[in-house]
Amino acid sequence: MVQDGPVTRAPCLNSTLKINGFKYYLMATSLQKETLEKFKKQAQEVVSEVEYDELFGHQLSHGEFFDEKIYEQLLVKILTAYDWDYKTSVDNLEKILEWRKEFNPISAAFLENHDSKFDDIGFITVNSEAKPLEKITTWNLYGKVTDPKKIFGDPNAFLRWRVGLMEQSVQLLDFASQDNNYMVQVHDYKGVSLFQRDSEVKKTTKKVIEVFGNYYPELLSKKFFVNVPSIMMWVFKVITAFVAEKTRNKFVVISNGQELSKYLDPKQLGTEYGGKVSEGTKSLRFLFKESKTKYTPYTAHLVGKSIASEID
Ligand code: HEM
């Protein structure tokens, strides 16, 4: 399972961080640079072997949509996730591309029509004024799931919707910047009860955790679990057993939802979380359909190609 990076951002190769003294840092940097150069070459082989050249909406092969800086930063994410172990990073890039080729997350995000029953339990907000790495937030209001059969009864439909939401939020990141290359996620468990955790919920939750852990490396800056009743804290322990330690270190559990405003910008947060937006956080929901410019150019190209092939 992927180790989803440090609590802070992935290392910028040209920064002047001092770790254990200057000399050590220079050595580590040149080693990392060497590893990255090797990985950049090998990644082209992987792309040819898998016959799939897209990652998080960006082109990996040297085509019309290729961007060297973004390519490098995407590879740095994978290297960071695997502690700069070259072989593990190559193997996992291959796994990620194979999964993307088969699952087609771009389709889940931008082409498929998901059931409107999911509208109440997940959305994205964008706050360009927020602190670095906190500009994009995905919200999952799982406490609102009063009828687990309705939401989780078709695990595949849930997974395609949840991955679609993840992929949309990833498209709002800017991998060329060090300010917006990670996102925040919030799970709100207000109203949750033990009866909601039936076997379908457990199975699907495990599957989603596995998919995000294996195929979405180094994208999370923090994840908040709010309105968690104290009698359900044991669930946290049970679930985090399936989560890599590095990812676990980014988790913050808050029993009182109002306290979220101590962590996230209150100006862009509903009053239900102690913020200033009286209409509620959901009123800030980012609607992709109304903002096509937010697609990456390569996603727009792939989406257009897919629509054209359906018409043929
Ligand atoms: C009973 C109702 C619940 C439902 C329907 C539910 C649903 C889910 C789902 C679908 C996921 C997959 C990851 C995602 O969508 O981002 C997830 C992950 C998770 N849930 Fe829940 N959950 C419930 C209760 C709880 C409770 C009470 C806790 C306690 C804090 C909890 C903690 C977690 C944790 C730690 C993860 C892993 C997050 C990750 O790896 O990113 N869940 N949950």
* Domains of the chain with bracketed CATH: 22-106 (no CATH), 108-292 (3.40.525.10)
**302: which 2 tokens?**
């792939």
Confidence of residue 291 (pLDDT cuts 50, 70, 90): low
Strand 251-254 versus strand 220-226 pairing type = parallel
The Cα 73–Cα 81 span in angstroms is 12
Given pLDDT bands bounded at 50, 70 and 90, which one contains residue 305?
A: very high
pLDDT attached to residue 296: 93
Cβ < 6 Å from ligand 1: which residues? 140, 142, 145, 162, 187, 189, 192, 196-197, 201, 204-205, 208-209, 212, 223, 225, 228, 232, 235-236, 239-240, 243, 253
Is the pLDDT at 78 greater than 50? The verdict is yes
Pairing outcome for strands 58-59 and 122-126: unpaired
Q: What pLDDT shows up at residue 7?
A: 40
Q: In the chain, what's the furthest Cα-to-Cα distance? A: 62
CA of 237 to the centre of ligand 1 (A): 11
**Per residue in 200-211, pLDDT tens?**
899 999 999 999
pLDDT for res 17: 44
pLDDT bucket at 8, cuts 50 / 70 / 90: very low
Question: How much distance in Å is there from the Cα of 205 to the middle of ligand 1?
Answer: 6
Average per-residue pLDDT for the chain: 90
Distance CA 205, CA 155 (A): 9
3-state secondary structure of 53: coil
d(CA 77, CA 183): 13
Pocket-testing residue among 1, 141, 142, 249, ligand 1, by greatest number of atoms within 8 A of Cβ: 142
What pTM value is reported for the model? 0.91
Atom of ligand 1 lying closest to residue 197 CA: 1
- Torsion sign (Cα): 18, 23, 29, 31: negative
pLDDT for the residue 24: 42
Please give the pLDDT value at position 28: 58
Side-chain-side CA neighbours of 299 within 13 Å: the count stands at 23
Helix, strand or coil, per DSSP, at residue 112: coil
Q: Which atom of ligand 1 is nearest to the CA of 185?
A: 16
Instruction: Say how many residues make up the chain.
Output: 312
- The answer to whether the beta carbons of residues 72 and 41 sit under 8 Å apart is no
Please identify, by atom number, the ligand 1 atom nearest to the C-alpha of residue 209.
40
Looking from the CA of residue 223, the nearest atom of ligand 1 is 41
100-44-219 Cα angle (round to 5): 45
Question: In whole angstroms, what is the distance from residue 151 CA to residue 136 CA?
Answer: 25
| Average pLDDT, integer, range 77-102 | 97
The residue among 17 and 96 whose pLDDT is bigger is 96
Q: What is the pLDDT of residue 25?
A: 46
User: Which pLDDT score, from 0 to 100, does residue 20 have?
Assistant: 40
Q: Tokens 């440090």 correspond to what residue?
A: 6
